[in-house]
Amino acid sequence: MINYQDICEEVIEIAKSAGSFIRQEREAFSANKIEFKGKNDLVSYVDKAAESQIIEALKPLIAEAGFIAEENKEIHISDTYNWIVDPLDGTTNFIHGIPAYAVSIALKHLNEIVVGVVYEIGKDECFYGWKDSSAYLNGKIIHVSDNKKVADTLLATGFPYYDFTRKDTYMALFEDLIQNCHGLRRIGAASVDLVYTACGRFDGYFEYNLKPWDIAAGMFIVERAGGEVFDFKGGKDMLEDCDIIATNGYISKELLETVKKYFAKHYTI
């Protein structure tokens, strides 16, 4: 039987090693090393090298595990265990020298996340948890906040950066919330938004049109910290729909109702 705590401890070291490489490369990084995967979708050799490093380190941990990874689409997907890897979440921040980017690694067994690690490189903060554990930040247990109403909260979001078909709906929601909470923040790395929600820095977070590797580890850590995570319909298809709401639990109903007020027309709800 696989010991998920032991696996998590191994993954922490792998994430930190990749983070150290990324930190060193940032010091000598040049804009001429940028590639474009699509409009406003940037990648560099750092993303690719870090992912290769992570995958090679993960392979021995669970022999049968497959990979769902951002930069390498050729690696096989398994019927049982799969690693979900974002080697550098917040690439645009990294490229522009904004210190908010992270390594995100999750382990999925069948349809359940069982290990999650997010290493925020700039602050040297490692958030993690495993199945049935608490959530941790650098060895200390963390919890979501206890604010009860959206009016009393600080929320996080992410802006659409290539699929703008729902931007008007999003901006209407944005306008609503900025008038009815303490404020909205946009860090530019979904995994960081999620773990900041897990430790109570944010009370909630929402974003649409993400990828599984953006959110898998972070949403698991939110749940381990006592929070709630769901899609824009109120279901649990975050990794399939890649639309996500994460909260401290107390504001879930109110925030979901507000999101639905604007986004319901895009879904069968």
Work out the end-to-end distance of the chain between its first and last CA atoms, rounded to an integer number of angstroms: 40
Is 214 annotated in some ligand binding site? yes
Per the CB < 8 A criterion, the answer to whether 100 and 195 are in contact is no
Q: In this structure, what are the phi and psi dihedrals at residue 44, rounded to the nearest 5 degrees?
A: -135, 170
Q: Which two tokens stand for residue 145?
A: 């906040």
Rg of the chain over CA atoms, in angstroms? 18
Q: Which two tokens stand for residue 163?
A: 């699929």
Is 241 annotated in some ligand binding site? no
What are the Cα distances from residue 257, in Å, to 144, 245, 260? 20, 11, 5
Per the CB < 8 A criterion, the answer to whether 86 and 92 are in contact is no
Is 163 annotated in some ligand binding site? no
Binding-site residues for Mg(2+) sit at 70, 86, 88-89, 214
Binding-site residues sit at 70, 86, 88-89, 214
